[in-house]
Structure formats: structure tokens, C-alpha cells
Chains A and B, each alone.
Chain A
């Protein structure tokens, strides 16, 4: 049952599938990495020092883009109602959705971080930290995304609101994730992973409550 749900969610969200999501968030991520050197000038040292942070901000903003199609269409179409009638709770549906959302953006984002790092002239050590940090932080971003998408699904103008809501919630991940770049040890990455875990554990329940509230309303 969970496998069947995951296959459907992946078909809806994966950028490579015909019927699925879009590649735009990824292009947006690369566009930021490409534009930044134009804006601050070709100072390789400055780029190397700030580039890691830029990659983090770009990743965070790219994670906002697919939020409006994460939960709202299914709520409108009554899919959650039909799942509930079959004894599949909103929590399980959203947990699966979170995994599918992560799979649909994080692996490609990690790949895209390689050319982005080249554009920002990051050295090997920073690149390694950025990749590890993103690996630890993106599950948290996916969890926040699912939570916010569920909260704003029933609202008019939900897409604009979700962007605003994500920013404060994502700040801890950003602080520790981007902060790990300037520390020699891996403490920042460990803290990022810890925050991610808390968010991943929380998101299906918060989102499930939001969907049930939308149903009663």
C-alpha cells in the first residue's frame, strides 16, 4: 500500500516523469549560482568565501517553488478523503509525500551543486561540506515544505503565503548548515541533521492535523 502511494507520488512530483513535476526549481538554483558572480564581481577569494552560503540560500529558495502543487491539488480533488475511507490516514499519506518530495528535488540538487560550486570557485573541502550539509539539511526542508503545503492548501493565495512561512522555519537549518562551512569540525552538519530529524518526525502529524482541519472547515 505504501509502495503504491509512493509510486504515485513520485510520478506526480519527479521532474523526469512525463506527467510529473518541473525542472524549474533546479534551473532556478543554477541561475542563482550563475548570477551571483556577476553581481559581486570576479574576485575569486570573495566568491570562495561566500559561495557556500549562496548555494544554501539558493537551495532553500528552490525548495519553495514546488510547494503549491504538493498537497493542494489532492485536497481539491478529494484524494485524501478517498484515502481516509480506505483506512489510510493523512499522516501516512503525508509521510509518503514527504519522501517523494525529497527524492524529487534533493538528489538533483546535490548534483547541481557540483557545477554551482565550480561557478563560485569553491575548493574541494568547502564543496564536501556543502554537499554533506545539504544531504543533512534537505530532509528538513522537505518536511517543512510538506507541513506548509498542507497548512496553506485550503487557503486562497496559499502559494505566496507558503514562501513567507518557510523562511522563518528554515532559518535554523540555514544557520547550522551554512555555518558548518566556517568550522573545521563537523558539528554544524550534525546539528543540521538533528534539526532535520525533528522536522521529519513532526511534519506528517502537523500536516495531517491541518488537512483534517481543512476538511471540517
Chain B
């Protein structure tokens, strides 16, 4: 895994007229895991999108070194085509081979579903597919927004192991979740502490 780091200094986020949080600092080195916790609507998704560079912060700055992979509630897989081809599109864009795609799908228990069009998949299967897409990207920085939503117990275990393996290999993981998630030596960030 290439060297990576993720730091944010004095972040503030405003949505509409409301200031969601301010004065937020974080620094993650290779192997670091961060659990962003807090009730619904407190700005977990916004924070992750700011860290990904998809949303500009109201104040502060984010410094990223390394490719970012984002998992949110939208799987970004084409509905009409079989899962294998939908995953294959991203695998080809990311320049990873056919084998890597197969092993990521296998890992998430999707190998029997590769011929099924994405629109026939259940909520949990879609989440597994999105996790496979993210794993396949082989990016050092992972941003996971509510990764456990819709997953069964086995899926939760798989995801926790996947994140642990990623961190053990020197990657960074930021997980936003209102649920409990077992992370390796996690730093917990309560967003409620940063409400103005």
C-alpha cells in the first residue's frame, strides 16, 4: 500500500442557513481508523463528503495524500446490466484486473449473483456489491458512510474484517455510523462535540 495520510484542520460545514459543526481537526496516518459517531442529521455524511473533496468546507482545509474510495447509500452500479459487468466497469476504470474483481465479489459472497441484473438485487446484496466495488478500487483511503445499513450479521462481520485488513495493510478508514462497528484500535469522533 502506498504512503497515505489524511488531515483536516479547523473544518466547519454549513448546509443552508445552519452551521453543522466547526473547529474540527483530525489527522490520520497509515493504519488509522476513525469512527465518526452521532445522531441522524448531525453532519456525518457532509463530513465524509468534505473529506472526499466532493463538498467544499465552509471553513478550514483538508489535505489528502492518496486515492480516496467512497462508499455511501448509492452503489453507483448500473441497474440494467448484470452485476459482474457493472463491477467490471469500475474495475477497468481503476485498472485492476479481472481476477481482482472476482476475488472482491467472492469475498463479499456475490459470486453466484454476477449474472443477475443489479435491479433484482436486495438492499443487502446491493450494499455488498458496493463494498466489493470499493474494495476492488484498491485505494489507500476509505470513507464509509453507514456501511452496515441493510447488511445481515454475516455481512457486518465481513465488513468489519475487510476494514481491519485494510488498516492492517497500511490503509486509512473513516467510518461514519450511528451503529456500533468493531474497528481495529479506533479513534472515536463524536460530532456532537463540535456543534457551535
- State whether A86 and B94 are in contact (beta carbons under 8 Å apart), knowing that A12-B78, A77-B75, A215-B54 are contacts in the complex: yes
Asked if B20 is an interface residue, CB under 8 A from chain A, the answer is no
Binds A, one of B3-11, B65-73, B167-175: B65-73
Query: By the criterion CB–CB under 8 Å, are B74 and A78 in contact?
Result: yes
Residue of A76, A85, A216 touching B69 (CB-CB under 8 A): A85
Asked if A128 is an interface residue, CB under 8 A from chain B, the answer is no
Query: By the criterion CB–CB under 8 Å, are B54 and A81 in contact?
Result: yes
Which residues in B have their C-beta under 8 angstroms from that of A1? 93
Residue of A19, A81, A215, A216 touching B76 (CB-CB under 8 A): A81
Asked if B77 is an interface residue, CB under 8 A from chain A, the answer is yes
Query: By the criterion CB–CB under 8 Å, are A84 and B81 in contact?
Result: no
Q: Which B residues between 40 and 63 are near A, CB-CB below 8 angstroms?
A: 52-56
Residue-wise interface mask of B (74-109) relative to A, using a CB-CB cutoff of 8 A (1 in contact, 0 not): 111111110000000110111000000000000000
Asked if A183 is an interface residue, CB under 8 A from chain B, the answer is no
In the bound assembly, the distance between CA atoms of A20 and B77 in angstroms comes to 15
Q: How far is the CB of B54 from chain A (nearest CB, A)?
A: 6
Which residues in B have their C-beta under 8 angstroms from that of A164? none
Residue of A nearest to B52 (CB): A85
Which residues in B have their C-beta under 8 angstroms from that of A215? 54-55
Query: By the criterion CB–CB under 8 Å, are A81 and B70 in contact?
Result: yes
In the bound assembly, the distance between CA atoms of A86 and B67 in angstroms comes to 8
Residue-wise interface mask of A (91-111) relative to B, using a CB-CB cutoff of 8 A (1 in contact, 0 not): 000000000000000000000
Which residues in B have their C-beta under 8 angstroms from that of A216? 55-56
Q: Which A residues between 25 and 81 are near B, CB-CB below 8 angstroms?
A: 73, 76-79, 81
Query: By the criterion CB–CB under 8 Å, are A78 and B72 in contact?
Result: yes
Which residues in A have their C-beta under 8 angstroms from that of B93? 1, 4-5, 83, 86, 88
Residue of A nearest to B133 (CB): A82
Which residues in A have their C-beta under 8 angstroms from that of B70? 81-82, 85
Q: How far is the CB of A18 from chain B (nearest CB, A)?
A: 8
Which residues in A have their C-beta under 8 angstroms from that of B54? 81, 84-85, 215
Query: By the criterion CB–CB under 8 Å, are B74 and A77 in contact?
Result: yes
Which residues in B have their C-beta under 8 angstroms from that of A84? 53-54
Residue of B67, B80, B89 touching A19 (CB-CB under 8 A): B80
Query: By the criterion CB–CB under 8 Å, are B89 and A85 in contact?
Result: no
Residue of B68, B77, B81, B92 touching A77 (CB-CB under 8 A): B77
Which residues in A have their C-beta under 8 angstroms from that of B81? 11, 19
In the bound assembly, the distance between CA atoms of A174 and B117 in angstroms comes to 41
In the bound assembly, the distance between CA atoms of A73 and B53 in angstroms comes to 22
Residue of B55, B74, B92 touching A4 (CB-CB under 8 A): B92
User: What would be 9 A-B contacts, judged by CB atoms less than 8 Å apart?
Assistant: A4-B92, A8-B78, A12-B80, A77-B74, A77-B77, A81-B72, A81-B74, A84-B53, A85-B68
